[in-house]
Amino acid sequence: MASKHIVVQGRVQGVNFRSAAQDAATDLGLAGWVRNRDDGSVVLVVEGDDAAVDRMVEWARQGPSSAEVTDVDVTDTAPQGLESFEQA
């Protein structure tokens, strides 16, 4: 099991990023959460199958079609045993 903390910067708020991230994570069978940050970025925590987590990181590098991702910072984290994916 893998777990990642992902910070996405660019035009990522107000473009349906969180909802699209929740849909993508759910489709990949991942648990975790996504939320907006005060600095205009979006942060995600995802955990699950290694390959699915890697696919979610790649998804975050693009985001939904309305987003303009300029930077993605990915950090390995310890799995927390999350059971669903939520917007926070």
- Residue 11 is a catalytic residue: no
- Out of 16, 18, 37, 61, which one is annotated catalytic? 18
- In the chain, alpha helices (H): 17-27, 50-62
Q: How far apart are CA 65 and CA 17, in angstroms?
A: 9
When computed from its CA atoms, the radius of gyration of the chain, rounded to whole angstroms, is: 11
- Residue 18 is a catalytic residue: yes
- Out of 11, 36, 55, 61, which one is annotated catalytic? 36
Cα angle at 19 between 11 and 39, to 5 degrees? 35
Residues taking part in catalysis: 18, 36
